[in-house]
Amino acid sequence: MNSPRELRRRIRSVSGTAQITRAMQMVAASKMRKAQEAALAGRPFVHMLYLIRREATSHMGDFSHPLLEVRQVRKRAVILIAADKGLCGPLNSNLFRLAAEFHPESTVFIAAGRKAAQFIARTHRQLAAEFEYGDTPTFPEARVIAGFARDLFLKREVDGVQVIGTRFVNTLTQQPLSLQFLPIGEINGLKIPGIEPEAEPSPDDTEFVFEPSPEVLFGYVLPAYLNIFMYQALLNAKASEQSARMVSMKNATDNAESLIKDLTLEYNKLRQGNITRELLEIAGGQAN
């Protein structure tokens, strides 16, 4: 049985932990709102860009672009987008479980976030590059990551690029996804995180005229599409991270408060029992 001193020490310790988790919950909640608004605000634009790209590539005729080239995959690059910090529930572990499915000898990793780089180093996998992105991801950060992966593909150092990230659904739900990044195509349907898949375009005989030329048009549209893809993936990752951390810290705070109540009840019962025993001893002494 615990002594009153031990119970008081445990109550103080758990109370200190609860103060820390409550503060982290409040910080995550303030960051979460901004991150969620950013992830949701860009979805209509990203959706429209996807429809434009899909319509254009389905009517491009005999023209071919290197970013659309489907090759036999001998070497693959995986862009792993994880959090910079822990304490966000199973968010990172779910992503790492997907990353572990790729064969380490035929896969090189591009890490986005400290936890992603730590996982790659811990599992002794090949790291091609490591990138950081802040609490508010910026388009230049996404453009650098997308450009590095695009260069690997165009130089034929890899035959395909996959993105492992998180799709933000709501505060309580974040879905880990493994999505094809390169070559650009329709293998997995719509591959922009946070946008619902659309039905495949119906075939028609409409003739499209590209001005000034298909080379110039697709040379601009396809890299821009990949940059926006990566930017939306970073926004979804950050919204998912802050949401998961807020929920995790709230659960930790609630558990700490529940434990404090149980310890306080046990302390009061023990204290009351000691007082009753002392009163009985006094009463017994007076009777003798």
State the burial class of residue 170 (Cβ atoms within 10 Å of its Cβ: 0-12, 13-18, 19+): exposed
Number of neighbours of residue 51 by Cβ within 10 angstroms = 13
Q: Which residues of 111-141 are buried (b: 16+ CB within 10 A; e: fewer)?
A: bbbebbbebbeeeebeebbebebeeebeeeb
- Alpha-carbon distances of 87 from 15, 135, 164, 236, rounded to whole Å: 18, 15, 20, 18
Based on the residue annotation, tell me whether 106 is a catalytic residue of this protein: no
> Helix H segments across 59-127?
91-99, 114-122
Catalytic entry in 88, 110, 228, 230? 88
- Alpha-carbon distances of 44 from 8, 156, 194, 195, rounded to whole Å: 55, 33, 10, 9
Can you tell me the distance from the alpha carbon of 136 to that of 144, in angstroms, rounded to the nearest whole number?
16
**Residue 178 DSSP SS3:** strand
- Answer yes or no: are the C-beta atoms of 56 and 221 closer than 8 Å: yes
* Catalytic machinery residues: 88
